[in-house]
Structure 1
Amino acid sequence: MKILVTGGAGFIGSAVVRQAVGQGHSVVNLDALTYAACLANVASVADDPLYAFEHADICDRAAMDHILAQHRPDAIMHLAAESHVDRSIDGPGAFIQTNITGTYTLLEAARSYWEAQGKPEEFRFHHISTDEVYGSLGAEGQFTEETPYDPRSPYSASKAASDHLVRAWAETYGLPVVLTNCSNNYGPYHFPEKLIPVVILNALHGKLIPVYGKGENVRDWLYVEDHADALLTVLTRGQLGRSYNIGGENEARNIDLVTMICDLLDQHRPDAAPHADLITYVADRPGHDLRYAIDPTRIRQELGWRPSVTLEQGLAKTVAWYLENPDWWQPLLDRDGVGARLGKA
C-alpha cells in the first residue's frame, strides 16, 4: 500500500512513517515543516526506497492536487495539525487555519483525486483526532465513540470542527473515511514543549518543573509507538465510516506522572537533591479540562488491538531515550516559544 502521511515530520506522524515503512508500505511524508516538525524524526527511513518527502502546506490546494496526482496514494493518513493547547490560547488563528481550513482543503483535494481515479473501493481517508473534542470528565466515566462533542479550548474546538468536516464529506460526497480519536501521546521524539519532555529537560538542567494548578488533572497516556500501530490497524482493517477511540489504558494525575519521571531521573542521573524538589505549582491555564479517559472497547473487540506498553514501561523508555539523544533535543530548545509559559490569557 502507498500511504500519504500529512504531518509526517511531527511527533505522532513520524512514528507512523517509521512504522509504516517498517511494515513494507510505501510512504509519502507531506509536511510544511513548521516549528514543531523535525526531519531528524524520520532519519532512520530517509534513505529507504519506500520513503519519499514532500515539503508542502495542506492549505495549498494546488500543491495538494499536484502531490496526489504525482504519487497516486492508496490512502491518506491526515495527522498534520497545530496541537499544543497552550499555543492555541495564546494564538488561536493558526489553529483555525491549519486544523479547519487545512483539513477542508485536503478533503477537497482527496475527493477530486478519488473521483478522478474512478472512486476505487480500497481508497481510504484516515483522519486522526484527539479525545479533547469530548470535553472534560468528572471522577468517573470514559469517552466512547458516542460521547457528545464538548470542546473547551481553541485547539480542541478546531479539531472538533475538522472531525465534523470529515464526516460531512463522507455523508455528502461518499468519500471513504475512517476516524480515530486518541488520548495523550508520549515517547521518543516528543517536541520539548509538552509536559513529559518539559519535565525531563527542566530536571536535567536544574530548572523548576511547572505543574498547573494542584497537578490533579488526569490524562490517559498512550505510548506513541502503540498509537502508530493502532492507526495502521484502523487504516487497513477498520470499518469504512467508523470512528475508533484509541487509549493507552494508563490513567494518571499530572503530579503523579511528574513524580514518576523525577524518580526515574534520580535513578539514572542522581543530583545533590531529589529532582522532585524542582516541582513548582503555577497558575492553571484557562479552561483546563479535569480528566480524560478513553473506553477502547470498540477497537479491542472489532480489530483485536490493545496497547502493549504500560505507563511505567513507557516512561522508562522515554526517559532513557532523552538521556541518550541530546543531539536531537538540544537544537530544538532554541525554537520559538520552547521553554516559555504560553496560554496565560
Structure 2
Amino acid sequence: MGVQRLVAALVTALLAGCGPATAATGEPAPRAARPAPQRTYAVGVRHFVVDPGGPRPLPVTVWYPAAPPTPAATMLAATPPAATPAAATTAVPAVRPGVPVAEGRFPVVVYSHGLRSLPELHAPLTTRWAAAGFVVAAPTFPRTNLRARDFTRADVRNQPADGWRLIRHLVRLDSRDGEPLAGHLDVVRIAAAGHSAGGFTTAGMFVPGHSTRLRAGIVIAGGGLAGSFAGPVAPLLFVHGGADPIVPESVGRAAYARSLGPAAFLGLPGQGHGEYLAPGRPGFAQVLATTTDFLRWTLYDDRAALRRLPTDALLPGVTTLTTRALPA
C-alpha cells in the first residue's frame, strides 16, 4: 500500500475510535515555574528503554539542555528586542552523547513520531527545543516505527497509553538515586507533541481526567482521536500544511474546532505533509519560533513569549495564524 493510502486509512480508523489511554495516577503538588531561560544551551542526548522485559518495550531518545551553555550563547536581556529566544535556536545545536545536564529543572516535552519514522528523524526540531531549555523525550513506538518487524498502523491506538507510560517512568527517574536526569526534570510541567500519526497520538493523550502534569499539546499534521481533547483543559497548538495530501488540512481544522480552551492553528498554505519541518525550507523558521514560544508560555509561564507568538508565527505568503481564547 502506498504511503498516502496507508495514512488515509489510518485517519479513517482513528477517527472511528481508539483504545483507552491510561493517565498518570496522582496529581502533583503545585510548583511555580522557574524563569524561562534567556540563553541557548548545548544539547546532550541519551537513550534508555522503558519496560525492557515487558510486552511493549519502549526505547526512548532524550535530548536535554547540557552544561555548559554554548560559547556563542548570550543573555538575551542585553540584546535588541528582535533577538528572541526562539530566533536564537535556529542555529544547528551541538549534540553530545551522555554529557551532564545543565543546572536546574527543565520542563518536559514527550514527542511522538509518525508512521514508519524514528525519533532521530525529527531531530532538527527536537534538538532546537532542547537548546531552548526543554527536555525532549521521544519514544520509538513498537509497531509503527521505521524498523518495526510487525508494522501495523492500527497500533497507533495503543500509543497514547505508551506516552503516559513514559511520563510515569520520567516521574520515577526524577527521584532515582544515581540517575543523571534526577532533579533536572520538571515533571509537573509536561507537554505532548507529535507529527502525523504522532499528532493523533498526542491528541489521544488528552483523555478524560488526565493528570494536570500534561499542560499543553502540539499536533503537527495530525488530528483528534475519538474521546480526545477531554479535560482538564490544556492549551493546544495545531500546525498543518494547506495542501497536505496524506492528512488533509480539514482533519487538523476539525480537531482545532473540537479542542477545548485556548488554541492556535498555524497554517502553511500550499505546503504538504511536513517539508516545513526541514531547516531551510519555507516555514521552518516560523514553525520553530511558534512552537518554541508556545512551549515557553505554557511550560514556563512566559507571557512575553505569548505576546511574541503572533508576530513570530506570521510570514506573508508562507504562514497564517488563527487563534481562540488565548490570554491577552
TM over 0.5: no
Q: TM-score of the superposition, structure 1-length normalised?
A: 0.35
Larger relative strand fraction: 2
Larger relative helix fraction: 1
- Higher Rg: 1
